[in-house]
Amino acid sequence: MDVFKKLKPFYWPFKSFFIWSVFSLIFVTAITLVYPIILKVTIDDVVMKERYNLIPYICSVFILLMIVKGFATYFHQYLGEYFGIKSVYVLRDELYKKLQRLPFRYYDNAKTGDIMSRLTADVEGFRFFLSMGFSELIRIVLLIVISLSVMFYFSVPLALVTMAAMPFLGIVVYKFDRKVHPAFRRIRKSFGKLNTRVQENISGMNTVKSLSREDFEVGRFLDRSSHYRDNYVNTSNIWAKYFPLMEFIGNVCVVALLAFGGYLVINGSLLLGELVAFFSLVWYILGPLMNLGFIINLFSQAKASGERLLEILEAHEDIQEKDGAVIQDRLKGHVTFENVTLTYSKDDDSALKEINFDAPPGKTIGLIGSTGSGKTSITQLITRFYEPEKGKVLIDHRPVDDYGLKTLRKNIGFVLQESFLFSTTIQENISYGNPDATLEDVKAAAKRAQAHEFIMDMPDGYNTLLGERGMGLSGGQKQRIAIARAILIDPAILVLDDATSAVDMETEFKIQKALKEVMEGRTTFIIAHRISSLKHADEILVLEDGEVVERGVHDELLVNGGPYQRIYDIQYQDKEAILNSTNML
């Protein structure tokens, strides 16, 4: 029950709905247990004694009980469902909030499809048990306890004989639970992997089709699907083994009841109506006991789902605000790195090693180097997406962890290498970081990002709805919208992570011209593979294997004969070779 104890804060606040549901259930159960007694009275007092004048009264009582039971059943089911729905609403909301708080380090290893299955299938599995499982368990306990009480009232010897096999049934149910829970956990895991496979395939459909790998992807899907199928078959096998055994033990109880009960009726120790009532009551015990397998099934699914949900809820939040964190609207943007070292994982080499630099407000820092050299890692430390292993990252002479996260990140405009756009209008995409911005503000930002012209050529202009991930726009258009989004938040620090990589040379020139004005008075970090994108930077850091191997301005670095000059020679020699081959044609 540890899983349910840990998740108690999400469902216990709504306990009043559950209590009223159970209260209604008690009425339903009590009325259900009146049936055998009415049957006993009908046989022993009406039929055997020929007191047929009692029939109208018995019928009236029966109809009245049915009406009361109908209302009680309605309230029990409605309130039970409401209890489950309200609980998982809060639970799903908290899960989503937790996902927003979790650091990048968590998402480095997380699978999108698996997370989605946890927020859908696992939440629903837990809800189903809250809505039905708890109350069904109480119903089973009530039926068994009250039925046993009535049976012992009618005949203690017959009750003892009938219940003799019950301990064996309890042992079988216990063993069934031990087997079925791990099986359901495997099902949940395999479903998450299957979901991930589908999500990755759909997201990468362009790559799949362009490389004609449809058959390969079908094979990978079938592998995940067959694994999910095998886990379900294994669970069904457990059911198939244990359920007949539970049914057999139940039937043994019925045989013992009929044999010994018949003997007691013949001897006059038991009335015929009591035996018939006994027969009904024993099924009120055996039925719920065998149905206990179904409840254990629900419990095991809910427990497996709850464990997976707790993995998210209990995930460590590396990046947290300090008590009394600095909250202010505007930072100056003075960025300093003091002997900063960053390691993403214990088993990995350091992504950054002893990085030192100072970037006063208005200064532009260029970052260049091969893939994996640590360029993006520097900017991710400024925004506290990760924490440094050693050293300090300062903004305005304060460690970045002194600031509130919203204060910090509202003052940093990020344009990533792969621009992500939401499935909404262009205006809402640009104003995403500044939702209070007017349409005129949005247009001004778009003009400075060289995006206004192509936006106005679209069917609905700024109200044009974009497809998933900006479907319908070219790579350059998406990147210019992302640049406009960064401009609109008016950041003190601007980070351009290969921001012009998806545009042609002419558009790049226009964007850089516009950005030159935007960068005025802001600390700017330009990550680029093209030297043309950062040659006007106030300082250029050349990185290799997480270390700064060269620093200076463009003209200085060109005469040093170091890595920067080699990059320059490669890029411009390639251009000359292309121009020469074009002229020859």
Residue 544 contacts by C-beta under 8 Å, 6 or more apart in sequence? 369, 370, 373, 563
Residue with more model confidence, 10 or 347: 10
Query: For residue 569, what are the CA distances in angstroms to 490, 558, 581?
Result: 36, 9, 18
Cβ atoms within 10 Å, residue 2 = 10
| Selection from 336, 352, 358, 344 nearest residue 549 by Cα | 352
Average pLDDT over residues 86-101: 89
Structure tokens, 540: 């250029």
Per-residue pLDDT, 539: 92
Average pLDDT over residues 165-171: 77
Per-residue pLDDT, 356: 93
Residue 470 lies in a domain: no
Average pLDDT over residues 506-515: 68
Is residue 503's pLDDT more than 70? no
Last residue of a domain, one of 288, 313, 338: 313
Residue 19 lies in a domain: yes
Residue 287 lies in a domain: yes
Task: Say which CATH number the domain at 551 has.
Answer: 3.40.50.300
Is residue 317's pLDDT more than 70? yes
Residue 185 lies in a domain: yes
Residue with more model confidence, 81 or 109: 81
Cβ atoms within 10 Å, residue 95 = 19
> Is 98 in the same domain as 160?
yes
Interstrand relation of 364-369 and 493-497 (parallel, antiparallel or unpaired): unpaired
> Is 399 in the same domain as 295?
no
Last residue of a domain, one of 266, 284, 313: 313
Q: What is the 3-state secondary structure (H, E, C) of 246-301?
A: HHHHHHHHHHHHHHHHHHHHHCCCCCHHHHHHHHHHHHHHHHHHHHHHHHHHHHHH
Task: Say which CATH number the domain at 199 has.
Answer: 1.20.1560.10
Per-residue pLDDT, 212: 67
Is residue 334's pLDDT more than 90? yes
Is residue 290's pLDDT more than 80? no
Per-residue pLDDT, 206: 59
Q: What is the 3-state secondary structure (H, E, C) of 516-569?
A: HHHCCCCEEEEECCCHHHCCCCCEEEEEECCEEEEEECHHHHHCCCCHHHHHHH
| Selection from 537, 423, 417 nearest residue 482 by Cα | 417
Mean pLDDT (the chain) is 82
Per-residue pLDDT, 103: 82
Average pLDDT over residues 178-197: 77
Residue 200 lies in a domain: yes
Give the lowest-confidence range in 119-133, 464-478, 546-560: 464-478
The tally of domains found in the chain comes to 2
Residue with more model confidence, 289 or 368: 368
Structure tokens, 144: 């068994």
Interstrand relation of 390-395 and 398-399 (parallel, antiparallel or unpaired): antiparallel
Domain range for 340: 326-411+529-585
Average pLDDT over residues 245-273: 80
> Is 96 in the same domain as 207?
yes
Per-residue pLDDT, 355: 92
pLDDT-based confidence at 320, cuts 50/70/90? Answer: confident
Average pLDDT over residues 305-321: 86
| Selection from 449, 455, 440 nearest residue 413 by Cα | 449
Residue 174 lies in a domain: yes
Per-residue pLDDT, 44: 75
Q: Is 390 left (phi over 0), alpha (psi -120 to 50) or beta?
A: beta
Per-residue pLDDT, 580: 46
> Is 51 in the same domain as 189?
yes
| Selection from 215-229, 240-254, 338-352, 389-403 with the highest mean pLDDT | 389-403
The span from the CA of 264 to the CA of 164, in Å, is 17
> Is 216 in the same domain as 337?
no
Per-residue pLDDT, 393: 93
> Is 407 in the same domain as 335?
yes
> Is 309 in the same domain as 332?
no
Residue 53 lies in a domain: yes
Give the lowest-confidence range in 37-51, 92-106, 479-493: 37-51
